[in-house]
Structure 1
Amino acid sequence: MRIRPMLSAVVVGGLVLLCSPARAAVPEARWDTVTDIVDYECTTSGAAEKQEVKVKIELTMPTDATVDRQMSIGWHGTYADGSELRVPATGLPSGTKLYAYAAISGLSQLSSATGVEELATLSPGQVLPLPAATVSLKTTARNAGTATVRPGAINVGTSPSERVIECEVRNAGALKTYTLTVAPAGGQPSHSATPTPSPEPTPSATTSASSLPTHTVTVTLTKSPEEPREKNDEVFKTPRGGAATGGGGETGPDGRVIVLIGSVVTLAAATGLLLRRRRGFSKG
């Protein structure tokens, strides 16, 4: 009667023992791939040798990034796992500097930020020290929005274009990323700050005739050279109210002469009539 319960217990116990290792293996197989340790492959100009370098990099994002204003991203790096960058056998020229970069994506016209640090004179084979202080990576955004930032290349040389050592990132997809937020540019001048000229007054339909502008036209009459000028070169005038095509009241024969002739004719006629009547009376 007790054999069946005992068999059940043995079977259950065996299953537990078999399944326990499988459950324990799950956490070991899942691990976070995001890292702040950058794997670099460094190439020396004019030499075939390459160096494998690991640098732990921390970036600090600005909190006041604004469009069209230079911003600074903090960069701090330390060597990891004892894989340091060493001065090549050919040495480094005088005035060599370290150039650190950050790669930026997700925002138009913004792809990188650059920082520079002076290096001391070093001998071939020495470890090239990384800056102890935080390096400021400078850049300027032309558009507002949000971008993704991750560590970029490291170069060593006398200028960004004159590089002696170039270190390229090999594990960019596994690197820890940072979010950069760029705000729109503020402080734009208000349109009300510019004085607006007053509009020109529109003439009203009821404007009085006295307020309208007057125009004076002067006409000079010049006689044609073919026509002889009158005595004393008189100037003929057209009186107001006269015909536009006639000479008016000041041209033609004098009216007083006509009246005088008429009076003489009338007086002569009256005298003749009187003489005839007197002759008639005398005959009778």
Structure 2
Amino acid sequence: MLKSKTRRRVAAKTAAIGVVSAGLLFGAVPAIASLAAAPKPVSYTCTSVSGVAAASPYKLLMDVSGPLTSTPGSTIVVTWKLGQPAASPSLGVPAAIAVGDRLVVEAEVAISGSPVPSSTGNREVTGTSTPGAVASGVAPTLPSVLITLTPTATGVVAVRPDAFTLVHQQAAGTGVGSSLYDCTVANPAEASAAALTITVNTSGAGTGTPGTSTPTSTSTSTGTPTPTPTYTTPEPTVTVTQTKTSKPRKTTQIDKTPGGGAATGGGGEAGPDARMIMFGGAMMAAAAGIGGLMLRRRTATRG
């Protein structure tokens, strides 16, 4: 019973995790897709090399990308990618392109807005590509162009695609190409919708393309205080010396010394001298010895 309850709890948790993961996945996909700017269709009227205009305008796909913000004085690089229409008609080459030949786009971009960038109005830019071998009537990949500008004040700058000419240059020869198509904007509103808008401010906030931010370090100099010497006046030291005169001590010896003798505390008044006692003892020992000899002699005579 306990195992079945545990299995049901694990299954419920797994299902909940799956639902949350699916929600994050399907919710993140539209967010990521919204970050990628899709090319905008712009209607162009193009005249071929034969001088005959197309019956209907070409819905070319224009992708103008670059930083969304900048600062005054910084260089901005904008990329303009020209794409073939998603549906027919397309810009097919009237003659085959050999390997090594180049396609050149001589284009114009309209730069407007405030602040005033490095130059205003229409600017001519050029892009080159090597498409490889392209058969006659096939629509090749069109070149991209780069636009460089420098704003000088805060405000908004708009970069809008405009007319262009597609040129074919052969690899061998003088390098002089032949024009394939001359195209002009047929719908200005579509061109304005495809324009890139750049906000110029002093803070230099994030850009549309990933970049590397350089932190600005501010150093604050703090002065080191100079130590102030402290002078201390030494106080005089007074040394007091006391001199004490000792009184003569009273001697403990006997004041009265017998004449002719050393002051030993004794003398003639102390009684008989010890030498007399020793002399008497010696005499007694000598008398005893003599008496013993005499007794020994008498005994020997009798025997």
Is the pair's TM-score, using the shorter chain for normalization, greater than 0.5?
A: no
Rg comparison, structure with higher value:
2
